[in-house]
Structure 1
Amino acid sequence: MLQISVVIPTCRRPTLLAQCLNALLEQDMAPERYEIIVVDDAHCQETRCLVESRVNAQARKRPVIRYLPGAYAHRPAGPAAARNLGWRAARGSIIAFTDDDCIPSQRWLSAGAAALTDGIDGVAGRLIVPLPNNPTDYEYNATGIAECDFVTANCFYRKSALEQVGGFDERFTAAWREDSDLCFTLLAHGMHFTNAPQAVVIHPIRPANWGVSVSQQRKSMFNALLYKKHPHQYKQKIQATPPWRYYSIIGTLLLAVMGLLKKSKPLVLLGLGLWIYQTGRFCMQRLAHTSREPGHVMEMVVTSMALPPLAIFWRLRGAIKFRVWFL
């Protein structure tokens, strides 16, 4: 009897998806008890062929694997929309979420299902993010996801609970905060959660381009939406106060500009001096636990200058877009 539907959103990452599917096909749960639903947000032909090759493999009995194209043929709709497509099409009463770049352990499904006892609506498994020796700033920060609650790389929900709240908010068009929003929403509806440390998923850190932290700042826009919907939980679980350090760094630059406008050399020197001091401290803190390779040090110097204004720009952009007072 089908019990669990595993939902995996994917977007142009067939090589990573193949590793995830291989791990899911090796679960210690009877294959007739679970299905795998791949939601292809990019309508990628290579992804479709990969899934179909797994479906057609007849080496042994396998769980049902289903391929669903994303909501829009011309553009990705984001992981929240893809997951909604997946769980709404699911035949199981339990929805297990993971990501295409994850590797579930062999006991993942059985341990998660066992923890979803009567009166429990959601289960968070244990996420392991291996940290390499001499990590970069990006790699060091990526391990923080392992400390978060109910990330969609490893969680289980009753389908009835998702139906009650309508699933994920599709305004979260990036892979950022949509899982926290769902968790906070379910808690607000009186749902009950627990943890399953035996339900393990490995989340390897993907390679990243030089200066990746700059492009990641766009995600800050969705912090505003999460704050608008759940201000108390946001302050309690995500960020208690605004990023005053960033505002302070921007303030020193404005002080230098004011000095230029007033043709005041002392004011310019004061503003630039404070900016160099604060930016230097910020850079050194990012290097404290990370690689001192010359290329990485240069990346930290350059991006430490760019991050504060970019982060604040996207936060304020989110505040305007989602119409909320959010600093």
Structure 2
Amino acid sequence: MTAVSSDVLGWSVVVPTVGRPQLRAMLDSLAATLQRCPEVAAPAAVVVVDDRPLGSAADGSPARPGPLPLPAEHGLPLHVVRSGGRGPAAARNAGWRTAAATASPPRWVAFLDDDVVLPPGWAGRLAEDLAKADVDDVAAVQARIVVPLPAHRRPTDWERSTAGLERAAWATADMAYRLDVLRRVAGFDERFPRAYREDADLALRVRQAGGTLRRGSRTVTHPVRPADDHVSLRVQRGNRDDALMRALHGPRWRQDAEVGRGRLPWHTATVAAAGAAAGLAAAHRPRPAALAAGVWAALTADFLRRRVLPGPRPGEEGFAAELRRMAVTSVAIPFAAVAHRARGAWQHRRALGGVAPAPWPVPVRALLLDRDGTLVHDVPYNGDPALVVPFDGARRALDAARARGLRLGVVSNQSGIGRGLLTPAQVDAVQARVESLLGPFGTWQRCPHVPEDACGCRKPEPGMVLRAAAALGVAPAECAVVGDIGADVGAALAAGARTVLVPTPETRPEEVAAAPLVAVSLEEAVRLL
């Protein structure tokens, strides 16, 4: 295999996770394939995005979750980012934006699920895929997914569902995108909260923007995760995401995104028959009610048959338990599917003739600002309102933002409280002075902790940005964070907000070089949004 230099390959890895124990094996397999393929340049970064919800500390502020199951010895350029439990689309965005926010951003970002296993030659095959994609100007390259199924019996319904990944188009279990393409389309649409359709939506938008997607030569193993008896009911929530896809991309979205038709029309007919039977019975019309009930029973029995026949046979391991699961869930799934689709259609009312959702990325509706070094000159551990001096033009910039209808908030690290150098009352007094000089803010969020507290709110953690967005009634993606140091940028990226850096003499050059957007003043920062 031909060696691939770092300037040709130029890649980073992003792994979203909710702390599953399989993460350790996945990272071990990544380290092993890199060792087996020394001719391949190592990734610039392996960004593990911890998307577990932030816990709550004793004072009610966000607290970091417990440690992730990371390998003790891995030799990987590992970086952990916390995204606050906002779903895989938001986690992947936090990952690639973190990888991009360096002085030398990668050309490619390889997205991997936390439960896949990479074969020994994976790194070499990836290098070949990306080298060919560079020559042909391809926007993204997908791996071929292999789902191991039991050899001693027929697969269960859940195992067959997982095996559908082998035929899925553009699944991000192992998908590499050009960084410039991700920037052009603003990454994943974070309105998709589940691991469902967010990858199809991204692929569709990339193709609509003129990009080409290709299936590569590399393979990845995706084991079947353990699941309880009700997993097939929970996955019906994806019908809400189907409603969003239709609202965003129109009635032909399934064909355009290369997605199968699904069973929703049959589920709708099943629910309609059940509803007719109940209504007719209540109206004391027994014969039509019996006919409608018969239609419901026939449709339900057909659905059960289609799920049971490919599964374990009598006498095979797990047959009785699978038959019980299928019998119960085959009755419930049509109702769950229709209910979730109706809820999604109402939420995204284009399907009902309403206004279509805004295209991704959504417009900025809120501006979150660092206090010291951004709004006012930095006086370390200031508890004296008399020392508050706003930057020139700060009031004009904020008034311009208010005139545009932007909601305003402040997110400020105040470790002086945790260090015993300031009291909350002193910080409140400084806050009041800032408002008297610069006008009102819709929310003030501050972190009183020291770094050793390991909280989830101290920037660059996302906690304060997420709390501010909630307090202002907007989504994190509808926020922009303006600050003067890399921690402000990091908090914005982790929370899914846009960000502008306004450097001061104290801002480190590497922070300026890594910032996605830089302005010379607060007024310019507001104009750029």
Using the size of structure 2 for normalisation, the TM-score is 0.57
Residue 100 to residue 286, structure 1, CA distance change in 2 (3 Å): same
**Which structure is higher in RCO with an 8 Å CA cutoff and minimum separation 6?**
1
Question: In the alignment, residue 202 of structure 2 is paired with which amino acid?
Answer: L
1:324 is displaced (CA, Å) by: 2.4
State the alpha-carbon separation in 2 of the partners of residues 156 and 268 from structure 1: 54
Give identity over the alignment, percent: 30
**Among 43, 64, 86, the residue aligned to 2:77:** 64
Residue 242 to residue 211, structure 1, CA distance change in 2 (3 Å): closer
State the alpha-carbon separation in 2 of the partners of residues 233 and 224 from structure 1: 10
Match of residue 163 from structure 1: 183
Q: Secondary structure at the match of 1:7?
A: strand
1:239 is displaced (CA, Å) by: 4.2
> Once structures 1 and 2 are overlaid, which stretch shifts more, 299-308 or 111-120?
111-120
Would you tell me which structure has more helix in proportion to its own residues?
Answer: 1
Q: Secondary structure at the match of 1:238?
A: coil
Residue 211 to residue 181, structure 1, CA distance change in 2 (3 Å): same
Residue 84 to residue 295, structure 1, CA distance change in 2 (3 Å): same
Q: How does 1:145-160 map to 2 (within 5 A)?
A: 145-160=165-180
2:337 is aligned with 1:311: yes
Q: Secondary structure at the match of 1:125?
A: strand
State the alpha-carbon separation in 1 of the partners of residues 291 and 213 from structure 2: 52
State the alpha-carbon separation in 2 of the partners of residues 38 and 156 from structure 1: 16
2:312 is aligned with 1:291: yes
State the alpha-carbon separation in 1 of the partners of residues 229 and 47 from structure 2: 34
1:242 is displaced (CA, Å) by: 7.1
Is the 8 Å Cα contact of residues 107 and 200 (structure 1) preserved in structure 2?
no
Is the 8 Å Cα contact of residues 181 and 206 (structure 2) preserved in structure 1?
yes
> Once structures 1 and 2 are overlaid, which stretch shifts more, 263-272 or 297-306?
263-272
Question: In the alignment, residue 346 of structure 2 is paired with which amino acid?
Answer: I
State the alpha-carbon separation in 1 of the partners of residues 88 and 139 from structure 2: 22
Question: In the alignment, residue 78 of structure 1 is paired with which amino acid?
Answer: G
Is the 8 Å Cα contact of residues 258 and 267 (structure 1) preserved in structure 2?
no
Residue 239 to residue 135, structure 1, CA distance change in 2 (3 Å): closer
RMSD: 2.0
- Aligned residue pair count: 313
Match of residue 204 from structure 1: 223
Q: Which runs of at least 4 in structure 1 moved beyond 6 Å after TM superposition?
A: none
1:148 is displaced (CA, Å) by: 0.9
Question: In the alignment, residue 295 of structure 1 is paired with which amino acid?
Answer: A
2:147 is aligned with 1:129: yes
Q: How does 1:49-128 map to 2 (within 5 A)?
A: 50=70, 53-54=72-73, 62-70=75-83, 72=84, 76-90=85-99, 91-115=105-129, 116-118=133-135, 119-128=137-146
State the alpha-carbon separation in 2 of the partners of residues 220 and 244 from structure 1: 12
Match of residue 6 from structure 1: 13
Q: Show CA shifts across 1:267-302 (max 9, x none).
A: 222122221111111101111101241221111111
Is the 8 Å Cα contact of residues 224 and 326 (structure 1) preserved in structure 2?
no
Is the 8 Å Cα contact of residues 18 and 50 (structure 1) preserved in structure 2?
yes
1:226 is displaced (CA, Å) by: 1.5
State the alpha-carbon separation in 2 of the partners of residues 20 and 87 from structure 1: 19
Is the 8 Å Cα contact of residues 27 and 70 (structure 2) preserved in structure 1?
no
State the alpha-carbon separation in 1 of the partners of residues 171 and 352 from structure 2: 24
Is the 8 Å Cα contact of residues 267 and 338 (structure 2) preserved in structure 1?
yes
State the alpha-carbon separation in 1 of the partners of residues 349 and 127 from structure 2: 40
1:109 is displaced (CA, Å) by: 3.0
Structure 2: any 5+ residue segments left out of the alignment?
1-5, 53-63, 100-104, 314-318, 354-529
Question: In the alignment, residue 107 of structure 1 is paired with which amino acid?
Answer: G
Match of residue 247 from structure 2: 228
Match of residue 28 from structure 2: 22
1:181 is displaced (CA, Å) by: 0.6
State the alpha-carbon separation in 2 of the partners of residues 211 and 240 from structure 1: 23
Q: Show CA shifts across 1:238-275 (max 9, x none).
A: 24587221121112112211222221221222122221
1:180 is displaced (CA, Å) by: 0.4
Residue 265 to residue 215, structure 1, CA distance change in 2 (3 Å): same
Match of residue 249 from structure 1: 270
Question: In the alignment, residue 117 of structure 1 is paired with which amino acid?
Answer: D
State the alpha-carbon separation in 2 of the partners of residues 274 and 192 from structure 1: 46
1:230 is displaced (CA, Å) by: 2.2
Question: In the alignment, residue 286 of structure 2 is paired with which amino acid?
Answer: K
Using the size of structure 1 for normalisation, the TM-score is 0.90
